[in-house]
């Protein structure tokens, strides 16, 4: 499904400038390697809170590490940092923006409910959300 969407937008959408796949009924899927591990039967592992990224599990942290490695591997193959005068600084800036965006995409926040057992509630909701995403 994702490959078909990519090919449609690349060919018909003039290299991705337009999104004809959406009008053809090909829904966009935002998935990560942590969800892939869940589909393969890998357990969630202990719950942990990463300071810059927010709540997670060992499985989601492993998935984030794999996603990041692939992302930066592709960036280095393309050579975006070699073609610019300050390429490494640009790549570091992209990394910081990626971390900020990942944290912004995380809907769970601490210290907003003033509930005394907020940690337990957020842990429960986060795990339920991730399990539902794996079951999709």
Contact 92, 86 (CB under 8 A): no
Give me the average pLDDT of each 10-residue run along the chain (136 residues): 78 82 80 83 84 80 84 72 66 76 68 74 84 80
**Continuous segment of H or E residues that includes residue 48:** strand 47-50
Of 9, 38, 37, give the one whose Cα is nearest residue 24.
9
Q: Note whether 67 and 106 are same-domain residues.
A: yes
Task: Provide the number of structural domains found in the chain.
Answer: 2
Q: Note whether 92 and 79 are same-domain residues.
A: yes
pLDDT at 73: 78
pLDDT at 7: 83
pLDDT at 87: 66
Neighbours of 46 (CB within 10 A): 9
Neighbours of 99 (CB within 10 A): 14
pLDDT at 80: 59
Q: Note whether 40 and 105 are same-domain residues.
A: yes
Neighbours of 21 (CB within 10 A): 21
Domain residues for 7?
1-30
Q: Note whether 53 and 8 are same-domain residues.
A: no
Which of the 8 DSSP states describes residue 135? Answer: H
């Amino acid at each position: 499904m994702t490959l078909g969407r990519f090919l449609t937008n690349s060919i018909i959408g003039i290299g991705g400038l337009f999104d004809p796949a959406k009008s053809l009924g090909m829904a966009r899927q935002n998935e990560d390697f942590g969800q892939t591990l869940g589909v393969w039967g890998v357990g969630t592992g202990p719950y942990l809170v990463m300071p810059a990224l927010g709540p997670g599990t060992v499985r989601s942290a492993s998935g984030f590490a794999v996603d990041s490695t692939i992302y930066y591997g592709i960036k280095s193959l393309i050579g975006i940092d070699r073609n610019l005068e300050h390429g490494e600084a640009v790549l570091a800036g992209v990394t910081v923006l990626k971390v900020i965006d990942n944290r912004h995409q995380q809907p769970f926040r601490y210290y907003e409910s003033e509930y005394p057992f907020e940690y337990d509630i957020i842990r429960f909701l986060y795990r339920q959300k991730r399990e539902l995403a794996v079951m999709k």
